[in-house]
Structure 1
Amino acid sequence: MVRLRASLPAVILVFTSCSAPLGIRDQPRSYIPANGWPTIVCLGDSLTAGDAAPVNQSYPAWLQKRLTASGYHYRVINAGVSGTRVADGLKRLRGDVFRFHPKVVVVELGGNDPGKTPTRVWQRQLSELVARVQRWGAQVVLGGLDEPGLGAVYRIVAAQRNVPLVWFTARLWSSPGLWGDAHHPNGHGYRVVMETFWPVLVRLLTRSG
């Protein structure tokens, strides 16, 4: 699993169940693919970057471990950047997604938009982002947050673009021990996140890659 990170000055904002925005703390750096395996790109914000957990316990890191253990030859790219909004994700597609020639893209965005971007705008942007990935030729798994002001948007976009929708944090709320801070899972929590969408993702893969 490759994590694309480089430090930038911090702007301290947070992701909460009531959709408080996150701060942009880092950005991807260049990466040269190895071993010729097809790639899975995880595009998102701090929930993808793995905030509040060790670098080797983000959900993309757990996904890489699960793929390898299960005999799937895929390279996972962690394209999570804290503070990313949907408009930022659109701008990042060429440099952080398409250049890796992914077979599958897991999209987890939108939690930073409420309060900053009108709902109709970020809904349209998210739909366009998914459509662009599909036109490029990759399959999409949409990760959503089933919370007030958010859940309906993900449902609409998933239906519009005919992509599977997984509620990323649905299995975490009843288990306080799975949270690393008030707003992000800990390492165990990110593993649960990965296990939540694994049954959906694995249907899109082949063991030969």
Structure 2
Amino acid sequence: MKNFLIILTFLFTFIAPATAASTKTVMVFGDSLSASHGMPIEAGWVALLTQRLQTKFTDYQIINASISGETTLGGRNRIKQSLETHRPEIVILELGANDGLRGASIKSIYENLATIIEICQQNNSQVLLVGMQLPPNYGMTYTRKFQAIFPQLAENYQIKLIPFLLAGFGEKHEFFQADGIHPNEVAQKKIVETVWEVLQTMIKTEKIAANPDN
């Protein structure tokens, strides 16, 4: 019996931590568009992406650190703690829409996102930046400058970019909830495909880099 307990202690002390350490994390760091606003959590694109990830890359998990109403400044203020808590290999950065809808300065949006990206890179987390667009009623000049923020950041920091989270349905009312802002449950499946197309390439590249001989 004593020998059996010793073996169990060995297993829990050495094998279990090694298994936990082998799990890599993708952290979604966004606002209500990623926080399943207006629908059950399991119907949101992050939950659907989790299901996809579990079937394709079993050594990865997804942590959703998104908060409804979040701004780039709010994200800037909490990114360090989120990174320390979850230690993600990849951060899907989906912020900026609330800033744009409130007419925040282009400079402040850019600087906040840039700071978040820099902090992620300093913590060895890859960033997948999610681009957003604004309705045309915000004025051509402002909407163009806002849209340009994301490709500029992607180029300056050499990170992956999803040009537009709502690509393929952004102008179709039938894919939105009653508020006309948040995508409905049907649209979540389209968002998953948009995110997955880029995310899977990042994971495959990471795996190759970690195991160059395989």
Q: TM-score, normalised by structure 1?
A: 0.77
- Residue aligning to 1:121: 108
Q: Aligned residues: percent identity?
A: 25
Query: How many equivalent residue pairs?
Result: 176
CA–CA separation in structure 2 for the residues paired with 1:68 and 1:177: 30
CA separation of 1:161/1:64 partners in 2, compared to 1, >3 Å: closer, same or farther?
Answer: same
Residue type of the alignment partner of 1:143? V
More helix, by proportion: 2
1:128-162 deviation per Cα after TM superposition (whole angstroms, max 9, x unaligned): 11111011101110001133242111121111111
Bigger radius of gyration among the two: 2
**Hey, which bits of structure 1, 4+ residues long, moved more than 4 A?**
206-209
Deviation of 1:116 after TM superposition, in Å, equals 5.2
Q: Which runs of 5+ in 2 are unaligned?
A: 1-18, 135-142
Shift of 1:200: 0.9
Structure 1 171/53 Cα, relative in aligned 2: closer, same or farther at 3 Å? farther
In 2, the alpha carbon distance for the partners of 1:185 and 1:93 equals: 25
1:52 aligns with 2:29: no
The separation in 2 between residues aligned to 1:191 and 1:130, in whole angstroms, is 27
Once residues 52 and 150 of structure 1 are traced to their aligned partners in structure 2, the CA distance between those partners, rounded to angstroms, is: 26
Question: Equivalences for 1:135-154 in 2 at 5 Å?
Answer: 135-147=122-134, 148=143, 149-154=145-150
Name the counterpart of 1:83. Answer: 69
Return the structure number with greater relative CO, CA threshold 8 A, min gap 6. 1
By how many angstroms is 1:117 displaced? 2.9
Determine the structure 2 residue equivalent to 1:178. Answer: 175
Name the amino acid aligned to 2:174.
G
* Deviation of 1:89 (Å): 0.3
CA distance in 2, matches of 1:117, 1:146: 14
Cα distance between partner residues in 2 of 1:141 and 1:72: 20
1:198 — aligned with what? 196
Residue aligned with 2:98, SS? coil
- State how far apart, in whole Å, the 2-side matches of 1:101 and 1:70 are: 21
Equivalent residues in 2 for 1:85-100 (5 A)?
85-100=71-86
